[in-house]
Amino acid sequence: MPVEVELKLNVLDVPAIRGLVLDPGDGLTGVTPIGPARNSEVEDRYVDTSDRALWSAGLVARIRTGAGGPRLTVKSAARDGDGAVHRRLELEGDATEDDPPGMWPPSPARDRVVSTVGERPLVALVTLRQRRLQRDLAVGASVVELSLDEIERHGPNGRLDAWTELECELRTGSEADLAALGAILARRGDLAPATMSKLERALGGSLATTVAGKP
């Protein structure tokens, strides 16, 4: 099954880390930028049934809307790994905004959602808006994507919370190279380990017991 391999860090000094993504050679020894930096804006809507069927099955579902239209991502809620590097299931496919999951275009992600929730409707748990600055790096024999994510949690009356993370996702190559990059980043005073997923942070760190304000 497709697996996402990444490390995540909380950003304590946004201008400094933005400068690092734009010019990695200035603060990251032994890495080589691949291509230019990329800017994008996306909206992430996390969904589940009202009785949290996906979460109970160990899954998290997100519908991301950006320049390419709605995109479904299904991940395992738990992350496995040693140290800062984590691995988890990641399935993707296309989605539509208003149709039930059974009417979405066929994909492994759609099939996993449908097999888990059946005909139960999905409801929105939380909506996050992100400004992303991304850059690919050659790290040893591997390719790692850096992503500086400026995240805003939104509710009916506007923005409720905001924070910034740095994600380092292994695109090709060895987890050892990603871990080596993580060791360099861990020595910086403007970054700190991220102990929760974006969804857990948005819901106050108690995803298993709190969905949209309901115990």
Q: What is the pLDDT of residues 101-120, one digit of tens each?
A: 999 999 999 999 999 999 99
Assigned domain for 215 exists: no
User: How do the pLDDT tens digits run along the chain, 215 residues long?
Assistant: 799 999 999 999 999 999 999 999 888 888 999 999 999 999 999 999 999 999 999 999 999 999 888 999 999 998 787 677 899 999 999 998 888 999 999 999 999 999 999 999 999 999 999 999 999 999 999 999 999 999 999 876 666 889 999 999 999 999 999 999 999 999 999 999 998 889 999 988 555 444 444 43
Is 208 part of a structural domain of the chain?
Answer: no
Residue 162 lies in a domain: yes
Assigned domain for 210 exists = no
In a domain, 209, yes or no: no
Q: In angstroms, what CA-CA distances link 125 with 6, 29, 88, 131, 167?
A: 24, 41, 21, 20, 23
> Which tens digit of pLDDT belongs to each residue from 77-106?
987 876 778 999 999 999 988 889 999 999
SS3 percent helix, strand, coil of the chain, rounded to 5, is: 20, 50, 30
Q: Does any domain span residue 7?
A: yes
Residue 142 is assigned to a structural domain of this protein: yes
CATH number where 116 lies: 2.40.320.10
Alpha-carbon torsion angle 195, 32, 92, 126, nearest 10:
40
Is residue 133 included in any domain, yes or no? yes
The number of distinct structural domains making up the chain is 1
Range of the domain at 103: 3-202
